[in-house]
Amino acid sequence: MRQAVNDTDHHAVDPSLAVLRQYFGFESFRGFQKEIIDHLLSGQDAIALMPTGGGKSLCYQIPALLRPGVAIVVSPLIALMQDQVDALWQNGVRAAYINSTLSASQIGTVLQQARHGALDLLYMAPERLLMDSSLAFLDELPLVLFAIDEAHCVSQWGHDFRPEYLGLSVLHDRFPQVPRIALTATANALTRADIIKHLHLRNARLFVASFDRPNIHYTVVAKKEAKNQLKRFLDAEHPGDAGIVYCLSRNKVEEVAHWLTACGRRALPYHAGLDKAVRQQHQAIFLREEGVIMVATIAFGMGIDKPDVRFVAHLDLPKSLEAYCQETGRAGRDGLPANAFLTYGYEDVIKLRQLLANSQLDTALKRVARQQLDTILGYCETTQCRRQVLLRHFDEAYAQPCGNCDTCRAPVATWDGSVAAQKALSCVYRTGQRFGVEYLVEVLLGKTSERLLALGHETLSTFGIGRELTAQQWRSVYRQLVAADLVAVNAEHGGLYLTQRSRPVLRGEQPVRFRQDPKALVPTNRPRKEGMDSSDPETQPLWELLCTVRREIAQRQGVPAFLIFHDATLRDLVEKKPKTLDALANIHGIGKRKLQTYGEEILGALQKFFHR
Ligand code: ADP
Ligand code: ZN
């Protein structure tokens, strides 16, 4: 093994580390990967909770390569199996999949391969695995392990619930000696309990990785013409990058996709109202082409394995911090800088609270949902480091402010809003606790509309008492009062009314501080600040050349460019400029197979470049 020779210490290289280097071209394990692999190799069950991009797949792929027999990977993401399998073959790993997209004879071929020991990994959709014929087939195979990916699909608490997953408990009963690992990026306690219960994983060891994603920069801005805010953000930070824009409704998805297209970006819509074929086509384009923006509802994204998604933008408030982390986690899987950008406004809060109040959920579920909403509002309005707030929510300590979020980069100014809060609440009271924010702001500013005069509100004591602030500032005051639950919103008509919690503020007994909404967008995470692309004149030509070589190889094979090399690999190439195959072998992400297949071509391109 090539790395064994280079190793400076004289101990024999650990077999799993050797496999990591040989097949995947990575230098060392991350986080709990090694512990999980060892645990599975010792024949025991595991549950792995890791953030998106945390490196879950290696946890079962490496045991699959170390032990004779087949590892079965259960995944609900049929559309992705092809890419996953292609990526493994690129690294010289023998993998295949069985799902409904294959014909009977193709399935027959795969089964043959498995029977003859020609496969290390076999991906299966749960409904396929649970068929009697499949289970009977597995009875005859030497099985290394079962990996149950996206294991949170077993839980009815999330929106990814898949009834078939409940049937997977059969694996425990039928194959008690085969180790199982359940993997998910959803960490909350309810989901975790469901996984243990429904998959019969009572003796499994739990591995909880840090949910920190240090390469993601978080920004939250108060919503003011969201589309223009998005445009400015994209122009400033991501002029040519691929990314995802999330919206709450299908209509808005369509609207924003059209608008971005009109602005000259390649943007595609994705939501459950589109034909399945259209959705698949859009997803394929997003994965295969460079620089595409997917505008989507939350119907999009589970298991999207695209490593170079450079930003995730939310134009509406996600319904929980868990959802937010899962969605933003799709950015920067390759570990390079990425942005999470969220605009949220008062209307979001109202809309979500109304949706909730009018939903069919029972009281307990409503309470959970309501709490989730309050938590994400707290995140939006925080004046502290956003990463600290996020990680605290997942019970993880993060000692110092991170330096890589908007509140760290530009500390938020706060102001004593006690008097403003009193005025705002008093105005709610005087007008009869039935008006929405726009009207209340009119009253505070002393604007005489026809409606106001008809109601005789120009005679109220709160009429015109708020001229020291602008309409925008009053909206911000109300938004923050609602977010902090210091005033409530009528679920039917959106009018504000006072609650027990309003009283101490109204009476001046409880001081209130508001955050000053920043005027301009804080510069965030120029993702290419390391200068590995078109923005750096020094390295730009080489970077572009390597991108072209990568694109040509990918087109030749009809696969997405990132299956050939990740950006992180190109970046390492630009930095190290290897001249020999030995040097090339030490590049991040180049294992034995890729060295053999593409080594000469890459070296040739580099050589030509430097001898021009
Ligand atoms: P997850 O399934 O947890 O979202 P993946 O298994 O897809 O994450 O891995 C995310 C990215 O991190 C992939 O690009 C993968 O190649 C890379 N990766 C995983 N483990 C390592 C490692 N030990 N060293 C370097 N890169 C790694
Ligand atoms: Zn921070």
Mean pLDDT (10-residue bins), the chain, 612 residues: 46 90 95 96 96 91 97 90 92 96 94 95 96 95 96 84 94 96 86 93 93 94 92 94 95 97 96 94 90 94 85 94 90 93 87 81 79 86 90 86 93 91 97 93 94 93 95 88 84 85 94 80 50 61 92 90 91 93 95 96 93 78
Q: Which residue among 348, 383, 409 closes a domain?
A: 409
Query: What are the pocket residues of ligand 1 if the criterion is a CB atom closer than 6 Å to any ligand atom?
Result: 26, 29-30, 33, 50, 52-58, 305, 307, 333-334, 566
Distance, C-alpha 162 to centroid of its chain: 20
* One domain, residues 372 and 479: no
Ligand that lies nearest to the alpha carbon of residue 186, given by its number in the listed order: 1
Per-residue pLDDT tens digits for 284-314: 899 888 899 999 999 898 767 889 999 999 9
- SS3 call for 95: strand
* One domain, residues 194 and 79: yes
pLDDT at 360: 83
pLDDT at 523: 52
| Mutation pick for ligand 1 pocket among 20, 27, 30, 571 (CB with most ligand atoms within 8 Å) | 30
HSE-CB for 23 with a 13 A CA cutoff: 21
Nearest residue (CA) to ligand 1, atom 15 = 55
CB atoms within 10 A of CB 555: 12
CA of 472 to the centre of ligand 2 (A): 26
Question: Which atom of ligand 1 has the smallest separation from the CA of 24?
Answer: 16
Are the C-beta atoms of residues 445 and 466 closer than 8 Å to each other?
Answer: yes
Nearest residue (CA) to ligand 1, atom 23 = 29
Nearest residue (CA) to ligand 1, atom 2 = 56
Per DSSP, what are the bridge partners of residue 184?
49
Q: Which two tokens stand for residue 544?
A: 């572009």
Type of residue numbered 595: L
Q: What is the DSSP letter of 405?
A: B
Instruction: Give the chain's domain count.
Output: 4
pLDDT at 524: 57
Are the C-beta atoms of residues 498 and 433 closer than 8 Å to each other?
Answer: yes
In a domain, 221, yes or no: yes
Per DSSP, what are the bridge partners of residue 181?
46, 147
Question: Which atom of ligand 1 has the smallest separation from the CA of 149?
Answer: 2
* One domain, residues 44 and 186: yes
Ligand that lies nearest to the alpha carbon of residue 383, given by its number in the listed order: 2
CA of 483 to the centre of ligand 2 (A): 21
Nearest residue (CA) to ligand 1, atom 19 = 55
CA of 544 to the centre of ligand 1 (A): 25
Q: How far apart are CA 164 and CA 95, in angstroms?
A: 23
Nearest residue (CA) to ligand 1, atom 21 = 55
CA Rg value for the chain: 27
CA of 386 to the centre of ligand 2 (A): 5
Q: How far apart are CA 426 and CA 496, in angstroms?
A: 11
φ, ψ (nearest 5 deg) of residue 528: -105, 35
CB atoms within 10 A of CB 395: 10
Question: Which atom of ligand 1 has the smallest separation from the CA of 329?
Answer: 4
Question: Which atom of ligand 1 has the smallest separation from the CA of 50?
Answer: 3
CB atoms within 10 A of CB 35: 15
* One domain, residues 365 and 432: no
pLDDT at 1: 40
Nearest residue (CA) to ligand 1, atom 20 = 55
CA of 53 to the centre of ligand 1 (A): 6
In a domain, 60, yes or no: yes
CA of 273 to the centre of ligand 1 (A): 32
Nearest residue (CA) to ligand 1, atom 14 = 334
Distance, C-alpha 362 to centroid of its chain: 29
Question: Which atom of ligand 1 has the smallest separation from the CA of 307?
Answer: 14
Are the C-beta atoms of residues 84 and 59 closer than 8 Å to each other?
Answer: no
Max distance between CA atoms of the chain, in angstroms, equals 89
Are the C-beta atoms of residues 560 and 554 closer than 8 Å to each other?
Answer: yes
Helices (H), 410-459: 418-430, 437-445, 450-455
Residues 6+ apart with CB under 8 A from 338: 215, 216, 217, 309, 310, 311, 312, 331, 332, 525, 527
* One domain, residues 341 and 236: yes
Are the C-beta atoms of residues 137 and 107 closer than 8 Å to each other?
Answer: no
Q: Which helix (H) or strand (E) holds 295?
A: strand 293-296
Question: Which atom of ligand 1 has the smallest separation from the CA of 568?
Answer: 14
In a domain, 468, yes or no: yes
Q: Which domain holds residue 247?
A: 216-409
φ, ψ (nearest 5 deg) of residue 462: -90, 0
For 540, counting Cβ atoms within 10 Å of its Cβ (0-12 exposed, 13-18 middle, 19+ buried), the class is middle
In a domain, 520, yes or no: no
Cα three-residue angle 50-55-58, rounded to 5 degrees: 120
CA of 211 to the centre of ligand 1 (A): 14
* One domain, residues 381 and 499: no
* One domain, residues 271 and 140: no
For 210, counting Cβ atoms within 10 Å of its Cβ (0-12 exposed, 13-18 middle, 19+ buried), the class is middle
* One domain, residues 247 and 144: no
In a domain, 533, yes or no: no
* One domain, residues 423 and 550: no
Are the C-beta atoms of residues 424 and 468 closer than 8 Å to each other?
Answer: no
HSE-CB for 307 with a 13 A CA cutoff: 19
CA of 210 to the centre of ligand 2 (A): 16
CA of 325 to the centre of ligand 2 (A): 15
CA of 55 to the centre of ligand 1 (A): 3
Per DSSP, what are the bridge partners of residue 220?
342
Residues 6+ apart with CB under 8 A from 603: 578, 579, 580, 581, 584
Ligand that lies nearest to the alpha carbon of residue 382, given by its number in the listed order: 2
Q: How far apart are CA 394 and CA 388, in angstroms?
A: 10
SS3 for 314-354 is: ECCCCCCHHHHHHHHCCCCCCCCCEEEEEEECHHHHHHHHH
Cα three-residue angle 432-435-440, rounded to 5 degrees: 100
Q: How far apart are CA 145 and CA 72, in angstroms?
A: 6
Nearest residue (CA) to ligand 1, atom 9 = 55
Are the C-beta atoms of residues 485 and 423 closer than 8 Å to each other?
Answer: no
Are the C-beta atoms of residues 298 and 229 closer than 8 Å to each other?
Answer: no
CA of 206 to the centre of ligand 1 (A): 19
Ligand that lies nearest to the alpha carbon of residue 525, given by its number in the listed order: 2
Residue 480's nearest CA partner among 437, 431, 443 is 437
Q: Which residue among 208, 234, 249 closes a domain?
A: 208
Nearest residue (CA) to ligand 1, atom 25 = 26
φ, ψ (nearest 5 deg) of residue 521: -70, 130
Residues 6+ apart with CB under 8 A from 284: none
pLDDT at 489: 81
- SS3 call for 438: helix
Ligand that lies nearest to the alpha carbon of residue 391, given by its number in the listed order: 2
Residues 6+ apart with CB under 8 A from 478: 346, 424, 437, 440, 441, 487, 496
* One domain, residues 505 and 562: no
CA of 28 to the centre of ligand 2 (A): 28
In a domain, 527, yes or no: no
CB atoms within 10 A of CB 322: 23
- The count of residues in the chain is 612
In a domain, 402, yes or no: yes
| Mutation pick for ligand 1 pocket among 37, 216, 325, 333 (CB with most ligand atoms within 8 Å) | 333
* One domain, residues 178 and 227: no
- SS3 call for 102: coil
Are the C-beta atoms of residues 128 and 107 closer than 8 Å to each other?
Answer: no
The CATH number of whichever domain residue 241 belongs to comes to 3.40.50.300
| Beta strand pairing call for 496-497 and 488-489 | antiparallel
Kindly report each contact of residues 506-513 with a partner whose C-beta sits within 8 Å and lies 24 or more positions away, as own/partner. 506/422, 506/425, 506/426, 506/429, 508/418, 508/422, 510/418, 511/416, 511/418, 512/416, 512/417, 512/418, 512/420, 512/421, 512/481, 512/484, 512/486, 513/414, 513/415, 513/416, 513/417
| Mutation pick for ligand 1 pocket among 26, 566, 594 (CB with most ligand atoms within 8 Å) | 26
Question: Which atom of ligand 1 has the smallest separation from the CA of 30?
Answer: 23
Strand ordering across the sheet containing 293-296 = 216-222, 338-344, 311-314, 243-246, 293-296, 267-270
Q: How far apart are CA 372 and CA 378, in angstroms?
A: 10
Question: Which atom of ligand 1 has the smallest separation from the CA of 588?
Answer: 25
pLDDT at 239: 92
* One domain, residues 79 and 196: yes
Are the C-beta atoms of residues 152 and 160 closer than 8 Å to each other?
Answer: yes
Ligand that lies nearest to the alpha carbon of residue 385, given by its number in the listed order: 2
In a domain, 534, yes or no: no
CA of 569 to the centre of ligand 1 (A): 13
CA of 518 to the centre of ligand 2 (A): 16
Tokens 């938004």 label which residue? Answer: 479
Whole-structure pTM over 0.85, yes or no? Answer: no
